[in-house]
Amino acid sequence: MQYKFVAAALLASIPFAAVAQSSVTIYGIADAAIAAENDGSNKVVKLNNGGRSASRLGFRGTEDLGGGLNALFNLESGIDLTTGESSSTFFNRRAIVGLKGGFGTVTLGREYSPIDSLASHSDIMELSFAGGSLSAFGSARNRLTRRLDNSINYKTPSFNGLVGSLAYALGEQTTGPSKDLLGLGVNYSNGSLFLGAAYQTSKRVAAGDDKEYAVGAGYNFGAFDVKANYLVSDPDGANIKFEQFNLGASVGLGSGRLYANLQQNKIESGAKGKGFAVAYAYPLSKRTSLYTSYATLRNNAIGQFGMESSGTKLAPAALGTDPSVFAVGVRHLF
């Protein structure tokens, strides 16, 4: 009986040992806002999904393979809280599997691009509030590439705060405007300082390359943060080279945090647009917060820049009109 008890105990311990070496986490964000939008001609009050962060449901996990090697995966789907719908591409936000070790990290699948990583670290509006980095790119139909399908990605270990990244996305097509995409990035973090740069080029099937590049910086002064970036999208032969500059700051105010961003947009054709955004987030708990935000974009006579964020997709009514949006919302993390 004693041997049977010992054997049973050993067998029972095997599944628990396996569980201890791996983990899976279910997580998500539920975010919705009441928004008053003005396209420069018409006004409308809407319920927007994701006024501060895009609503999502995700699964991520790791497994310890021994010897410092780990397997990892991440599946993340965007969810529209206003209707309960998800994207036709279910895991539209991220879908990767990979390995991580002393050599760095290798992932395969739908992954964030080097430019997205750079922008997310250098945007005071967290790539979510209207009026932040990349927001005007949507209305210009020339948005910097944020997620890469069919991609092979490598990120180096940190060398005293310096991390490099390489991405190659397979176009898998023989016709159309573009084919394979190559992305490179380098970020440096040291205490309160962040510096980064990224470059991406997408080969056209016929001839020529579309180019995208960005530089960014940030510094935490303790009482407040300052961040800035410069983003460029330059399609081959399109005569619509797009440039955007952002300068923003955030500071603690009461129990919450105040954010502000100044933005300059221009296209080589002469179109220009100046943006201003301000937001305030107030935590009710570690996971739940209330927020309010306002953003506007002032176009010149031939400018037609709008705003696209996690919760707002607002195009100007016509050339030279100035869109704006005011929102009040709630966000819960789980």
**pLDDT of 140 higher than 90:** no
Residue 132 sits in a domain whose CATH number is: 2.40.160.10
Cα 216–118–272 angle (5° rounding)? 60
Residue 184 placed within a domain = yes
| Domains contained in the chain, number | 1
pLDDT tens per residue, range 49-108:
989 999 999 999 999 999 999 999 999 999 999 998 877 788 999 999 999 999 999 999
pLDDT at 276 over 70: yes
Radius of gyration of the chain (CA): 22
Q: How far apart are CA 28 and CA 24, in angstroms?
A: 13
Residue 4 lies in a domain: no
Comparing 113-122, 202-211, 222-231, which segment has the lowest mean pLDDT? 202-211
User: Is pLDDT at 232 greater than 60 in this prediction?
Assistant: yes
Residue 141: count of CB within 10 angstroms of its CB: 10
> In this structure, is residue 19 part of a structural domain?
no
* Coil, strand or helix at 38: strand
pLDDT at 13: 43
Q: How far apart are CA 115 and CA 282, in angstroms?
A: 29
Secondary structure (3-state) at 274: strand
Looking at residue 16, what is its pLDDT?
42
20: in domain: no
CA nearest neighbour of 276 among 136, 144, 142, 140: 136
Q: Give the pLDDT band (50/70/90) at residue 2.
A: very low
- Report if residue 100 sits inside a domain: yes
Q: Which of 66, 82, 31 lies closest to 52 in space, CA to CA?
A: 31
Q: What angle do CA 309, 311, 314 make, to 5 degrees?
A: 65
**Two tokens, residue 182:** 């190559």
Question: CA 59, CA 68: separation in Å to the nearest integer?
Answer: 23
State the Cα–Cα distance between residues 98 and 74, nearest whole angstrom. 9
Alpha helices by DSSP H, listed for 175-216, are: none
- Cα–Cα distance measured from residue 71 to residue 98, given in angstroms and rounded to the nearest whole number: 6
Residue 10 counted as domain residue: no
Domain region containing 323: 25-333
- What confidence score (pLDDT) does residue 7 get? 42
Q: State which of 119-128, 150-159, 173-182 shows the largest mean pLDDT.
A: 150-159
Residue carrying the six token digits 């935000």: 293
Give a yes or no: residue 13 inside a domain.
Answer: no
Inform me whether the pLDDT recorded for 174 exceeds 70. no
Residue 7: phi and psi, rounded to 5, are: -60, -45
Cα–Cα dist 228/260, whole Å: 12
Instruction: Read off the pLDDT of residues 186-222 as tens digits, 9 standing for 90 and up.
Output: 999 999 999 999 999 988 766 678 899 999 999 999 9
